[in-house]
Amino acid sequence: MKKLIVIALVVMLLVAADLPPALPSSFYGEINGAGPGAVVTATVGGTTRSTTAFAWQGLTVYALDAEGGQTGQVVTCRVNGIIAGKGVYRTGTNQRANLTVTKPKSIYRRR
């Protein structure tokens, strides 16, 4: 009986090891307020992935896979370190998410 249980556990482990990894949640779109070469990051579930924006047909665009999240978690997108948009993690999807960079206002007043 113990031998049968051990064999069943080994078979289950082998089957589980052959399962493909979960697909990432992918995002793409235009970037307003930054040019080609800008660093675009997506953070979800404590994992950050990055890419570089590029020029396409006169626009600045990006494409990025966010990994490490769970369905429904918020994905925070930054351009050159500035929050430029948010999305929702959905495994195996490719979602359009245009990003807009707004420069933070200075806390100093001009005299």
C-beta neighbour count of 74 within 10 angstroms = 12
pTM value is 0.77
Torsion angle of C-alpha atoms 76, 104, 96, 65, degrees rounded to 10: -40
Q: Is residue 48 part of a domain?
A: yes
Summarize pLDDT for 51-84 with one digit per residue, the tens: 999 999 999 999 999 999 999 999 999 999 999 9
**pLDDT at residue 16 tops 90:** no
Instruction: Record the tokens describing residue 97, joined without a space.
Output: 């998410």
User: Band of the pLDDT at 5, cuts 50, 70, 90?
Assistant: confident
Instruction: Work out how many domains the chain is built from and give that number.
Output: 1
The answer to whether 74 touches 86, Cβ cutoff 8 Å, is yes
The range of the structural domain enclosing residue 41 comes to 22-100
Select from 63, 64, 52, 66 the least CA-distant residue to 23: 66
CATH number (domain holding residue 81): 2.60.40
3-state secondary structure of 53: coil
If one compares 42 and 16, the residue with the highest pLDDT of the two is: 42
